């Protein structure tokens, strides 16, 4: 399905802009059914956190204790 391409694009866009309600709904309906997109979301979250760290904002380091 071409759905994943759309969903990963939205997940990436969410870092830069606010998603519409409809876009969030599409993500929330899709993620429970797709481990690939869940992994993608996890990865971009890590990247975002790394970007925050590099920009000098210190955040509690609890990533190592998560799953």
Tell me which residues touch Zn ion (CB under 5 A): 4, 34, 36-37
> Which residues does 22 contact at the CB level (< 8 Å), separation at least 6?
none
- Specify the residue, 3 or 52, whose C-beta has the smaller distance to Zn ion: 3
Least Å from the CB of residue 42 to Zn ion: 13
CA gap 1, 44 in Å, rounded = 22
CA gap 14, 30 in Å, rounded = 15
- Specify the residue, 22 or 32, whose C-beta has the smaller distance to Zn ion: 32
- Specify the residue, 23 or 37, whose C-beta has the smaller distance to Zn ion: 37
């Amino acid at each position: 399905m071409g759905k994943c391409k759309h969903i990963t694009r939205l997940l990436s866009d969410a870092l830069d802009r606010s998603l519409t309600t409809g876009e969030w709904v599409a993500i929330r309906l899709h993620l429970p059914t797709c481990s690939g997109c869940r992994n993608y979301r996890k990865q971009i979250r890590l990247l975002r956190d790394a970007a925050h760290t590099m920009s000098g904002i210190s955040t509690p380091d609890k990533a190592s204790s998560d799953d």
